[in-house]
Amino acid sequence: MRSLTTRRGRGIAGATLVALVLATSACGSDDEGGGTASGDGGTTTLKVAAGAKLLTDWDDYVADAKGYYTEHGLTIDRVTTQTASAAAQLQVTGEIQIGRGLPPAVQADVNSNGAVHQISVADTLIRPPFTVNAAAEITSYEDLVGKTVAVSTPTDSTTVVTDLALQQLGLPLDQIELNPVGGSADRLAGLQQGAVQATALLPPLNFQAEAAGFHRLGYLPDDLGDDFQFAFNSVIVDRDWAEDNKDVLVSYLAARNDALKFMADPANAEEVASILAEATGIEQDVATQVYDLTIGGQYSAFNTEIGIDTAAAQGVLDGLQAGGFLKQHEDAADYTDDSYAKAARDGS
């Protein structure tokens, strides 16, 4: 019988979000506006969920470094969350306006019977270049049977990707324990401490894991084939907030569109890598290695312009269903809206 470690957590996470919805419905959110307007040049401050210092927020780093937010009249106040699930909860309580990650947004909607209206308005990282790193005694995916694999929180994107990947690799899921230990750094620490035997990691932490002796079983984009598309880092907003603050949201997406286009231009390769190095604290040569892997042609991990990638968004919904996170098939169109990104693209 499959371990219930992750399954129990899913119920807890769902109940937490529902409780937050009920509380905020009764008391009202502390910040229901479109952002905080400053008196300096008429800029608007947006509170935005930021993830761990990895490649996932690369276009945000570029938008900041190149001054695109400022050009579009915005100041970004980042609230660091190690997981998309934490961002979803902050969004429910009104502590941020822009969240990240489609899986917890969908589950919040379903678990609250529609009381939560979080949607994706853009996908940036659409083919996440996960590696599966493992202890020395594990030399193949088949060796994961009977072992413990670290995942993120029960409702987070990394958990859904891991569950989906194990299924598509044909492994017996009832014989693999998924242990939700937290964000990327926590999962790597679990490997180092021997609490788990494998986990999925993104650059540059996967390079760090390999340097520490936790070898790479494979790259998921290679092992799952061209059909592997998963909207890993989506721009998540409350549907009502988006309707009430369209101009602000379009300006935000326009800044990130400028960043994605800058990243996609090979002439900017060295500067794009330097921005990643500066934002994450890694060495320039490592940043160049990440660029060559994810943007320079091997995996094309990022969208080249802002918008919804329908196949990648549907990959999330299919993964949620396949992993038992959803009871029935859901259509990505019900949880996405490309109109705001289209307005941003048309204005760029």
Average pLDDT over residues 230-257: 96
Domain limits, the chain: 5-127+230-347, 131-224
Average pLDDT over residues 317-324: 85
CATH 3.40.190.10 describes domain 5-127+230-347 = yes
Give the pairing of strands 44-50 and 36-37. antiparallel
Average pLDDT over residues 57-78: 97
- Work out the pLDDT band at 193, boundaries 50, 70, 90: very high
pLDDT, position 79: 95
Determine how many CB atoms are found less than 10 A away from the CB of residue 60: 25
Average pLDDT over residues 249-260: 98
238-242, 272-276, 320-324, 335-339: the lowest-pLDDT one:
320-324
Average pLDDT over residues 40-64: 89
- Work out the pLDDT band at 3, boundaries 50, 70, 90: very low
Average pLDDT over residues 252-277: 98
Residue 57 has pLDDT above 50, yes or no: yes
- Work out the pLDDT band at 98, boundaries 50, 70, 90: very high
Phi, psi of 48 (to 5 degrees): -130, 135
Which of 15-24, 27-36, 213-222 has the largest mean confidence? Answer: 213-222
CB burial of residue 189 (10 Å; 0-12, 13-18, 19+):
middle
Average pLDDT score over the chain: 86
Residue 255 three-state SS: helix
CA end-to-end span of the chain: 53
Average pLDDT over residues 11-38: 46
Question: In this structure, are residues 112 and 21 in contact, taking their beta carbons and an 8 Å threshold?
Answer: yes
Which tops the pLDDT comparison, 305 or 51?
305
pLDDT, position 276: 97
pLDDT, position 253: 98
Per CATH, the homologous superfamily of domain 131-224 is Periplasmic binding protein-like II (3.40.190.10)
pLDDT, position 36: 59
pLDDT, position 116: 86
Residue 30 has pLDDT above 90, yes or no: no
Nearest 5°: CA angle at 181, between 178 and 47? 125
Cβ neighbours of residue 329 under 8 Å, at least 6 residues apart?
317, 321
pLDDT, position 124: 95
pLDDT, position 1: 30
Query: What does the alpha-carbon distance between residue 203 and residue 177 come to, in Å, rounded to a whole number?
Result: 24
Domains 5-127+230-347 and 131-224 share a fold: yes
Question: In this structure, are residues 44 and 74 in contact, taking their beta carbons and an 8 Å threshold?
Answer: yes
pLDDT, position 272: 98
pLDDT, position 27: 43
Cα Dmax for the chain:
61
pLDDT, position 140: 95
Nearest 5°: CA angle at 83, between 250 and 133? 120
Residue 33 has pLDDT above 70, yes or no: no
Q: Rounded to whole angstroms, what are the CA distances from 197 to 76, 136, 146, 150?
A: 38, 9, 10, 8
pLDDT, position 178: 92
Residue 23 has pLDDT above 70, yes or no: no
Identify the residue whose tokens are 């952002």: 35
Determine how many CB atoms are found less than 10 A away from the CB of residue 4: 11
- Work out the pLDDT band at 35, boundaries 50, 70, 90: low
Average pLDDT over residues 57-61: 96
